[in-house]
C-alpha cells in the first residue's frame, strides 16, 4: 500500500507514537548478551585498580606500608592520601555541599572506607597486592546510633570540620550535627497540636537500605598524553555533571574531557554520585599514562557506594473527631553516615521530604530534619524515587493509618475525606509545593471497587474471629496507600546540582531521507529511553519511531543535561524532546508551504504531513519536506532540518497512585504471602503502556524487597551485617507476587505532552502498601505500628510482643 492510500488511523499507527505499546528496541541486544557495559571495555595496556578498605568503622590510620605490595610482579603503584594531596584530590566535594575523603586522610570513618588504591596489570594481581598492604590502625569508639551523636561522651567523627559552626545548609550545633532544615509554620502547627481534639503520634523508621543495581559501579579512565584528552567511561547517571566536576577537580579543561556512560545495568540512584574509585582511576591513568579500570564487587557496592533512606521520622497528626486532618508535624533524624554525600538538589538537604503532606489537604504543617554524622557509609540517594519522596510517602501513609486507629475509623474513608479535591488543583501545600494536577477521589474509588474493599474487610473480620476462636493461625492484612510523588526536578530557579541548573535537553537532526537521530542529556539505565523518546518524537514530527535513533551518554555528542534519576527524564528531557520536535515542525511547515506554493498559514499538520487547508489531496509528508530541506534552495530558509531545545520546567510534576495489597501472615513462623496486589498509577499522559507496566512491576518488586527484608544493618560496633546477597534481600521470581496494574490519566497542565513520569511511583507507593498490610493485620490485636523491614523474625516478634504465642 502506498502512503497516499492509507487512512489517518493507519498512518497514526505506523508512527508507533504516544500510547503505543511498542516493544523495547534495546532488548534485542540485552537479551542476547550483546550489551556493552563498563566492564566490557577492554583497551591495550589497560591497568586495573583495586582498593584497600578499612575493616574498622572508626580509627586513626597510623601508618600504611605498601612495600610488600609493590614487590608483587605486575603491581605498578599503590596510591595513598599522601600521593593525592599534592594534587588536592585526597578529598573531593560531595553533591550535598560537604567533602569526602578519596583515600583515608589520617582516619577512617566507616567500615569499607577506601584507604589505598593498588594499580596492577590485572585485577588478580591487584587483589593479591591489596592483601599485602599493611595498615596500622588505632581503633576509636564508633558512633552507630544517630540519637547518641550529641551526647557528652559521643566521639567526634569529622575532626576536619569539628569547629565549623556553619555548614553548607546553615548552623551546626554539634561537631556530629550536619544541618537542621525547617519547612512550614512551626508555631502554628504546634498551636494546632496543643488544641486539636485528636492527636496521634508515632515514630516511623524507614531503615537503611541500598539500591543494589545488578551492575555495580565502575569506570575506565584513559588519559591520552599526546592530545591531552581524558576519556572517562563509567556508570554515570549524570555524565555531564561528572565531566564538569572532573574538570573542576583536575584542572583539565572541560573540552578535553569526554565522559561516556555506556550501557548501564540499573542505577536506582546508586550511580548519581561521584565516588573515590572514579577519582583514583583518573589519577592513576594520568600518573601511568595508561587506561585504568576500576569496578567494584558486590560487597564493595553494598558497603561503600551510596546507600538509601535511614530516616527516623517522629510524627504528630491532629484531626477533628470526624477525621478532618488539621495539622501535621514531623521531626526527622537523618542518619547520613560519615560524609554528607546525599544526592539532592543543592537547596534541599533533605530532598523533597516536604512533600510529606502527601495526597491530603492539610492546612498547617511543619517539618524539621536534622542531618547527623555516624560511622556508616555515606550516601542517602534517591533509590528508585525522587529525592526523599519515598520516605515522605511512607511517613504520611503510616501516620494516616495511625490516626485511623486513634479515631477508630476506616483508613480508606479517612483518606477519602482528606484528599485534595480535583477542583483544588493547582494546589498550594502547607510545606511549599504547587501540585500541578490530580483526581485522587476517582483513582481511589476505582481501586477500592477493583479489589472489592468492603468484601475484603468483611473477610478480614471473619478471619480475626476465627483466629480468636483458635481455628487459624493466619491473619489477613489489607495494605492501603494513596501516594503523591513530586518528580521532574526541576525548575532552574530552585533546583541545581553543584550549581548546574536542572534543565535538560534534546537535539534533533532529520536526515535527508526522512529518518532522524535525537540526542539527549539523560542516560537510560534500563528505562527504555531509546524506545520511548522516539515515540514522543514520532508523534511530534510524523516520522515513525522505528526510523528515529535515540542516543545518550556521550558528552562529546549529547547536549548538556543533568541526567537520569528522580523520574526526571520524561518530565524534563521528554519535554525538551517535544519542544525540539515542535521547532522541527515549525521550520518544516515553512518548507512545506513553499513546496505547495501556499502561504505558511495555509497548511495544517495532520499526523505525518502538512495539508493545504481545504484541499486535503494537496500535501507534503515530513519525509518529503526533509528531503527538500537538503536538496532545494528555499528562499529565506536555511538548508537542513535540525533543532535543539533546552527545557527549564516551570514546575515539578506530581504523579499519584492508589495501591492495595492483601497479605496472609503466619503468626507462628512470620512468613507472609501476598495474595493480591493492585496498583493504579496516574502518570499523566502515557507514552508506552507496556513499558509503564514493566516499570511498575520492577518498582513494586523493589518495594517488596525493602518492606519485607532488604536492609543495610550495622551491629553496635559499626560492622556491616548485611554486606552480601546472602543476607541482603533481592527477590527472585519465586518471592514476587502477581501484580494487577491499572491507571487513570490526569495530564500535567504544564508539560508539553502532559506526561508526569512513572518509573519510581511503584517504589514510593509500594513500600507503604506492603508495610501497611503487615501493620493492618495485627491492628485487631492492639498493634499501632511496627518498623520495617518485615522479615520473618520481626513479624514473629510483633506477634510475640502482642502475646499471640502464649
Partner 1 sequence: MIPGRFDYHQPESLAAAVTLLSELGDDARVIAGGHSLIPMMKLRLAMPEHLIDLKAIGDLKHITVADGVVSIGAMTTQAELIGSAALADAAPIVKETALQIADPQIRYQGTIGGNVANGDPGNDMPALMQCLDASFTLSGPNGQREVRAREFYEAAYFTTRDDLEILTRVTFAAHGGGYAYEKQKRKIGDYATAAAAVLLSKGADGACSSASIAMTNLADTPIYCEEASSAMIGAGIDATSIETAVKSCLECIEPVDDNRGPAEFKKHAAGMVLKRAIDSAWSRA
445: contact with partner 1 by CB under 8 A: no
709: contact with partner 1 by CB under 8 A: yes
Q: How far is the CB of 736 from partner 1 (least distance, A)?
A: 10
Query: Positive or negative CA dihedral for 168, 171, 175, 177?
Result: negative
Compute the distance between CA of residue 749 and CA of residue 624 in angstroms, rounded to an integer: 33
Q: How far is the CB of 591 from partner 1 (least distance, A)?
A: 58
**What are the residues whose beta carbons fall under 8 Å from the beta carbon of 125, sequence distance 6 or more?**
48, 72, 73, 74, 75
Which residue among 13, 43, 70, 127 contacts partner 1 (CB under 8 A)? 127
The answer to whether residue 552 is catalytic is no
Q: How far is the CB of 141 from partner 1 (least distance, A)?
A: 24
Give the nearer residue to partner 1 in terms of CB position, either 211 or 723. Answer: 723
792: contact with partner 1 by CB under 8 A: yes
Which residue out of 111, 237, 460, 589 is catalytically annotated?
Answer: 237
729: contact with partner 1 by CB under 8 A: yes
Which residue among 670, 737, 768, 783 contacts partner 1 (CB under 8 A)? 670
791: contact with partner 1 by CB under 8 A: yes
Q: Binders of partner 1: how many residues, by CB under 8 A?
A: 33
Beta bridge partners of 435: 427
**What are the residues whose beta carbons fall under 8 Å from the beta carbon of 570, sequence distance 6 or more?**
488, 532, 687, 755, 756, 757, 758
732: contact with partner 1 by CB under 8 A: yes
Give the nearer residue to partner 1 in terms of CB position, either 546 or 715. Answer: 715
Please check whether residue 610 is in contact with residue 597, taking contact to mean a CB–CB distance below 8 angstroms: no
Q: How far is the CB of 712 from partner 1 (least distance, A)?
A: 12
Give the nearer residue to partner 1 in terms of CB position, either 459 or 671. Answer: 671
The answer to whether residue 385 is catalytic is yes
Binding-residue pattern over the window 649 to 668 for partner 1, x denoting contact by CB under 8 A: -----------------x-x
Compute the distance between CA of residue 555 and CA of residue 159 in angstroms, rounded to an integer: 38
749: contact with partner 1 by CB under 8 A: no
Closest CA relative to residue 290, chosen from 302, 300, 282, 278: 282
Element containing residue 621 per DSSP (H, E):
strand 615-621
Dihedral Cα 395, 398, 402, 408, nearest 10 deg: 140
582: contact with partner 1 by CB under 8 A: no
194: contact with partner 1 by CB under 8 A: no
Give residues 464-483 in contact with partner 1 (rule: CB under 8 A): none
DSSP state of 722: -
Give residues 289-328 in contact with partner 1 (rule: CB under 8 A): 297-299
Compute the distance between CA of residue 703 and CA of residue 604 in angstroms, rounded to an integer: 47
Compute the distance between CA of residue 703 and CA of residue 705 in angstroms, rounded to an integer: 5
Which residue among 597, 726, 738, 803 contacts partner 1 (CB under 8 A)? 726
Which residue out of 158, 384, 388, 398 is catalytically annotated?
Answer: 384
Q: How far is the CB of 638 from partner 1 (least distance, A)?
A: 56
63: contact with partner 1 by CB under 8 A: no
7: contact with partner 1 by CB under 8 A: no
Strands, E, within 577-734: which ranges? 603-606, 609-612, 615-621, 642-647, 656-666, 672-682
Q: How far is the CB of 258 from partner 1 (least distance, A)?
A: 30
Q: Three cell numbers at 748?
A: 500535567
634: contact with partner 1 by CB under 8 A: no
Output the 3-class SS for 114-174: EEEEEEECCHHHHHHHHHHCEEEEEECCCCCCHHHCCCCCCCCCCHHHCCCCEECCEECCC
Element containing residue 497 per DSSP (H, E):
strand 496-497
Compute the distance between CA of residue 649 and CA of residue 76 in angstroms, rounded to an integer: 49
Give the nearer residue to partner 1 in terms of CB position, either 302 or 777. Answer: 302
The answer to whether residue 481 is catalytic is no
**What are the residues whose beta carbons fall under 8 Å from the beta carbon of 196, sequence distance 6 or more?**
318, 319, 320, 326, 327
Candidate ranges 119-127, 386-394, 512-520, 741-749; the one touching partner 1 (CB under 8 A)? 119-127
Beta bridge partners of 742: 680
Q: How far is the CB of 708 from partner 1 (least distance, A)?
A: 9
Candidate ranges 3-11, 282-290, 536-544, 725-733; the one touching partner 1 (CB under 8 A)? 725-733
201: contact with partner 1 by CB under 8 A: no
Q: How far is the CB of 521 from partner 1 (least distance, A)?
A: 35
Q: What separation in angstroms does the CA of 472 have from each of 476, 629, 664, 798? A: 11, 75, 11, 17
What are the counts of helices (DSSP H) followed by strands (DSSP E) for the chain?
19, 35
637: contact with partner 1 by CB under 8 A: no
Which residue among 105, 735, 742, 745 contacts partner 1 (CB under 8 A)? 735
Give the nearer residue to partner 1 in terms of CB position, either 592 or 705. Answer: 705
Which residue out of 212, 217, 385, 661 is catalytically annotated?
Answer: 385
Q: How far is the CB of 796 from partner 1 (least distance, A)?
A: 5
Which residue among 195, 424, 793, 801 contacts partner 1 (CB under 8 A)? 793
Q: Three cell numbers at 201?
A: 503520634
Give the nearer residue to partner 1 in terms of CB position, either 62 or 805. Answer: 805
Binding-residue pattern over the window 251 to 290 for partner 1, x denoting contact by CB under 8 A: ----------------------------------------
Query: Positive or negative CA dihedral for 232, 238, 242, 248?
Result: positive
737: contact with partner 1 by CB under 8 A: no
805: contact with partner 1 by CB under 8 A: yes
Compute the distance between CA of residue 316 and CA of residue 72 in angstroms, rounded to an integer: 61
Compute the distance between CA of residue 70 and CA of residue 700 in angstroms, rounded to an integer: 48
Candidate ranges 277-285, 314-322, 429-437, 787-795; the one touching partner 1 (CB under 8 A)? 787-795
Closest CA relative to residue 386, chosen from 567, 574, 183: 567
Instruction: Tell me how far the alpha carbon of residue 560 is from its chain's centroid.
Output: 20
Please check whether residue 211 is in contact with residue 269, taking contact to mean a CB–CB distance below 8 angstroms: yes
Give the nearer residue to partner 1 in terms of CB position, either 67 or 669. Answer: 669
Please check whether residue 583 is in contact with residue 645, taking contact to mean a CB–CB distance below 8 angstroms: yes
Total residues belonging to the chain:
806
Which residue among 124, 248, 471, 640 contacts partner 1 (CB under 8 A)? 124
Candidate ranges 121-129, 191-199, 261-269, 373-381; the one touching partner 1 (CB under 8 A)? 121-129
The answer to whether residue 384 is catalytic is yes
Q: How far is the CB of 314 from partner 1 (least distance, A)?
A: 27
419: contact with partner 1 by CB under 8 A: no
Give the nearer residue to partner 1 in terms of CB position, either 525 or 722. Answer: 722
Q: Three cell numbers at 672?
A: 507472609
Give the nearer residue to partner 1 in terms of CB position, either 33 or 86. Answer: 33
721: contact with partner 1 by CB under 8 A: yes
131: contact with partner 1 by CB under 8 A: yes
Give residues 38-57 in contact with partner 1 (rule: CB under 8 A): none
Kindly report the backbone phi and psi dihedral angles of residue 624, in degrees, each rounded to the nearest multiple of 5, phi listed first: -65, -40
Which residue among 35, 426, 731, 737 contacts partner 1 (CB under 8 A)? 731
Q: How far is the CB of 669 from partner 1 (least distance, A)?
A: 5
Which residue among 85, 128, 185, 554 contacts partner 1 (CB under 8 A)? 128
From the number of C-beta atoms within 10 Å of its C-beta (0-12, 13-18, 19+), residue 79 rates as: buried
Q: What is 504-555 written as a DSSP string?
A: EEEEEEE-TTS-EEEEES---SSS-HHHHHHHHHHHHH---GGGEEEEESBT
Q: How many other C-beta atoms are found inside a 10 Å radius of the C-beta of residue 83? A: 19
> Given the rule CB under 8 A, which residues bind partner 1?
123-124, 127-128, 131, 297-299, 666, 668-671, 709, 713, 721-722, 726-727, 729-732, 734-735, 791-794, 796-797, 800, 805
Q: What are the residue numbers of the active site?
A: 237, 384-385, 760
Amino acid at each position: 500500500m502506498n502512503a497516499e492510500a492509507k487512512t489517518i488511523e493507519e498512518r497514526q499507527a505506523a508512527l508507533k507514537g504516544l500510547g503505543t505499546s511498542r516493544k523495547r528496541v534495546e532488548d534485542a541486544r540485552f537479551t542476547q548478551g550483546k550489551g556493552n557495559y563498563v566492564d566490557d571495555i577492554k583497551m591495550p595496556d589497560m591497568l586495573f585498580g583495586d582498593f584497600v578498605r578499612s575493616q574498622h568503622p572508626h580509627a586513626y590510620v597510623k601508618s600504611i606500608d605498601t612495600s610488600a605490595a609493590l614487590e608483587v610482579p605486575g603491581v605498578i603503584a599503590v596510591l595513598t592520601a599522601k600521593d593525592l594531596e599534592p594534587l588536592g584530590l585526597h578529598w573531593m566535594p560531595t553533591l550535598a555541599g560537604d567533602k569526602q575523603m578519596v583515600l583515608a586522610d589520617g582516619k577512617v570513618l566507616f567500615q569499607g572506607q577506601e584507604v589505598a588504591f593498588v594499580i596492577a596489570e590485572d585485577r588478580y594481581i591487584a587483589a593479591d597486592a591489596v592483601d599485602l598492604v599493611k595498615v596500622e590502625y588505632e581503633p576509636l569508639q564508633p558512633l552507630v546510633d544517630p540519637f547518641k551523636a550529641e551526647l557528652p561522651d559521643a566521639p567526634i567523627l569529622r575532626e576536619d570540620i569539628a569547629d565549623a559552626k556553619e555548614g553548607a545548609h546553615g548552623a551546626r550545633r554539634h561537631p556530629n550535627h550536619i544541618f537542621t532544615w525547617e519547612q512550614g509554620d512551626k508555631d502554628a502547627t504546634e498551636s494546632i497540636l496543643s488544641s486539636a481534639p485528636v492527636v496521634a503520634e508515632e515514630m516511623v523508621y524507614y531503615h537503611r537500605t541500598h539500591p543494589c543495581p545488578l551492575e555495580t559501579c565502575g569506570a575506565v579512565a584513559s588519559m591520552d598524553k599526546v592530545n591531552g584528552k581524558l576519556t572517562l567511561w563509567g556508570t554515570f547517571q549524570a555524565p555531564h555533571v561528572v565531566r564538569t566536576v572532573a574538570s573542576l577537580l583536575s584542572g583539565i579543561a572541560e573540552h578535553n574531557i569526554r565522559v561516556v556512560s555506556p550501557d548501564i545495568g540499573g542505577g536506582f540512584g546508586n550511580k548519581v554520585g561521584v565516588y573515590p574509585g572514579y577519582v583514583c582511576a583518573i589519577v592513576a591513568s594520568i600518573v601511568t599514562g595508561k587506561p585504568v579500570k576500576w569496578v567494584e564487587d558486590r560487597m564493595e557496592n553494598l558497603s561503600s557506594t551510596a546507600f538509601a533512606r535511614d530516616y527516623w521520622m517522629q510524627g504528630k497528626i491532629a484531626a477533628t473527631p470526624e477525621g478532618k486532618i488539621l495539622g501535621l508535624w514531623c521531626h526527622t533524624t537523618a542518619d547520613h553516615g560519615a560524609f554528607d554525600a546525599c544526592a539532592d538538589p543543592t537547596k534541599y538537604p533533605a530532598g523533597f521530604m516536604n512533600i510529606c503532606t502527601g495526597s491530603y489537604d492539610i492546612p498547617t504543617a511543619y517539618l524539621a530534619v536534622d542531618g547527623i554524622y555516624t560511622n556508616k557509609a555515606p550516601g542517602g540517594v534517591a533509590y528508585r524515587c525522587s529525592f526523599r519522596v519515598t520516605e515522605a510517602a511512607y511517613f504520611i501513609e503510616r501516620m494516616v493509618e495511625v490516626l485511623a486507629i486513634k479515631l477508630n475509623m476506616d483508613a480508606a474513608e479517612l483518606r477519602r475525606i482528606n484528599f485534595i479535591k480535583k477542583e483544588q488543583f493547582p494546589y498550594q501545600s502547607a510545606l511549599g509545593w504547587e501540585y500541578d494536577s490530580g483526581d485522587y477521589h476517582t483513582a481511589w474509588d476505582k481501586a477500592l471497587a477493583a479489589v472489592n474493599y468492603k468484601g475484603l474487610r468483611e473477610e478480614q473480620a471473619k478471619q480475626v474471629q476465627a483466629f480468636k476462636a483458635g481455628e487459624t493461625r493466619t491473619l489477613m492484612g489489607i495494605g492501603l496507600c494513596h501516594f503523591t510523588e513530586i518528580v521532574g526536578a526541576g525548575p532552574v530557579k530552585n533546583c541545581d546540582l553543584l550549581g548546574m541548573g536542572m534543565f535538560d535537553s534534546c537535539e534533533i537532526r532529520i536526515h535527508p531521507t526522512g529518518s532522524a537521530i535525537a540526542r539527549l542529556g539523560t542516560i537510560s539505565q534500563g528505562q527504555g529511553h531509546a524506545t520511548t523518546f522516539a515515540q514522543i518524537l514520532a508523534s511530534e514530527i510524523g516520522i515513525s519511531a522505528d526510523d528515529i535513533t535515540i542516543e545518550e551518554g556521550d558528552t562529546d555528542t549529547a547536549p548538556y543535561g543533568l541526567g537520569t534519576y528522580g523520574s526526571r527524564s520524561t518530565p524534563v528531557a521528554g519535554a525538551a524532546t517535544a519542544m525540539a520536535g515542535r521547532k522541527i515542525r515549525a521550520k518544516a511547515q515553512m518548507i512545506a508551504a513553499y513546496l505547495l506554493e501556499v502561504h505558511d498559514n495555509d497548511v495544517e499538520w495532520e499526523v505525518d504531513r502538512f495539508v493545504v487547508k481545504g484541499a486535503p489531496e494537496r500535501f507534503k509528508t515530513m519525509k518529503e519536506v526533509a528531503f527538500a530541506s537538503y536538496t532545494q534552495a528555499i528562499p529565506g530558509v536555511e538548508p537542513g532540518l535540525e533543532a535543539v531545545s533546552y527545557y527549564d520546567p516551570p514546575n515539578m510534576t506530581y504523579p499519584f497512585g492508589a495501591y492495595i495489597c492483601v497479605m496472609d501472615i503466619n503468626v507462628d513462623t512470620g512468613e507472609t504471602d501476598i495474595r493480591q496486589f493492585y496498583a493504579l498509577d496516574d502518570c499523566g499522559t502515557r507514552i508506552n503502556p507496556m513499558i509503564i507496566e514493566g516499570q511498575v512491576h520492577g518498582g513494586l518488586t523493589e518495594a517488596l524487597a525493602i518492606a519485607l527484608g532488604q536492609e543495610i544493618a550495622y551491629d553496635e560496633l559499626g560492622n556491616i551485617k548485611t554486606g552480601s546477597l546472602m543476607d541482603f534481600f533481592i527477590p527472585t521470581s519465586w518471592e514476587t507476587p502477581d501484580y494487577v496494574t491499572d491507571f487513570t490519566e490526569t495530564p500535567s497542565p504544564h508539560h508539553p505532552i502532559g506526561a508526569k513520569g512513572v518509573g519510581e511511583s511503584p517504589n514510593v507507593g509500594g513500600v507503604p502498601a506492603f508495610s501497611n498490610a503487615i501493620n493492618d493485620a495485627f491492628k485487631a490485636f492492639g498493634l499501632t505500628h511496627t518498623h520495617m523491614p518485615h522479615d520473618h523474625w520481626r513479624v514473629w516478634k510483633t506477634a510475640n510482643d502482642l502475646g499471640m504465642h502464649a
